[in-house]
Every structure is written in C-alpha cells, then in structure tokens.
Amino acid sequence: MLVALLLSIYVPGVVRAEGGLLSDFFGMIKKWFESSPLGNIFNAPVKRIETIKLGFYPESFDFNAAEPVNMSTNSSEISNFKGSVSVDMKNKVVVMQETGTGLMIKESLGTISVNGLKLTSLELKDMKLVLTTGNWNETTEKGSVSLNDFLGTGTIKDGLIEIEGNVSRVVKG
C-alpha cells in the first residue's frame, strides 16, 4: 500500500490506471496474499461483544462447564466445579458430574446460581424465551435463539433458567 501511495505521488496516473501493468501486478499480489495463511489478518471479522439477559423455560437442560465455575444452591456452595450439569425440570432435580472423577452431586431444584459460566455456543429451539439485549426486548411462547461465546452468570430455578452476560453473536430464529 505504501509503494502504491509513493508511486501515485511520484508517477501520476500509473497506479490509478485500470488494467495497467502496475495495477495488474498489485492485483496479483493481493490475490496471492489473500490465499496465503496470513490473508485472514486483514479481512477477519471483528467480534462485537453484546450484553444480554435471556430467560428460557426448558423441560430439561444439559451443559458442560469446561472451565471451572462456582455454584451456590439453597443449601451448599461448590467452588471450581468442572463437568456436566443436567437439569430435569419435571422431576425437579439437578445432577452435577465432575469431569475426571467419580464425584456426582444430586441436588433438589431450588435456586442455583452459576458464576463464571462460559458457553461456546447455545442453541434453543421452540420454547418460551425472554430476551433482552441493548434496547431490544422480546418475549415469545415458541421461539428460537442461538448465542456464541457466552460469558457470564446463570440462575436455575423451578421451570426457568436465566443467563446474563456477554456474547459475541445473537441470532434470533
């Protein structure tokens, strides 16, 4: 780009000419650079962080805490938990299975708070949703939403799961 700028200053009309020798040369360099492993440096999309609050009403819900989270229930606190969490709204129970150990915790469903919740992606289909992001509020009885790169907190209650935090992408279906 600097070479093109200098050439346009010192040799007027050469770089600006369409189909000229120099513009063809720069076109070939551009094509090569875009196909090289470094090509994405200049045209990679920038992730925009959005803050959301989402409430959803599933019959059951499973997630994997790949990064350690801290959880608190009506009767206990769990620090640095890393593993799977299964929520069964019908039977009003939450089962936590720690990765790499035989530890399993079965808790009656009350209010469970999860701090440091990180989800790479979340896709919810055909369920009651309450979504707030920026100045956009939406409530639907049978909607769909997809989130990417969620980081925040979660609350599990009888019949309702709420998450609040930052995401890089929200797509409403």
Span 65-122, pLDDT tens digits: 878 999 998 888 999 999 999 999 999 999 999 998 989 999 999 999 999 999 999 9
Confidence of residue 52 (pLDDT cuts 50, 70, 90): very high
More confident residue, 24 or 14: 24
Q: What is the mean pLDDT of residues 11-23?
A: 47
Q: What's the pTM?
A: 0.70
| 65 C-beta neighbours (distance < 10 Å), count | 22
pLDDT per position as a tens digit, 121-133: 999 999 999 999 8
Q: Which of 15-24, 129-138, 142-151, 155-164 has the lowest mean pLDDT?
A: 15-24
Q: Which of 10-19, 22-31, 34-43 has the lowest mean pLDDT?
A: 10-19
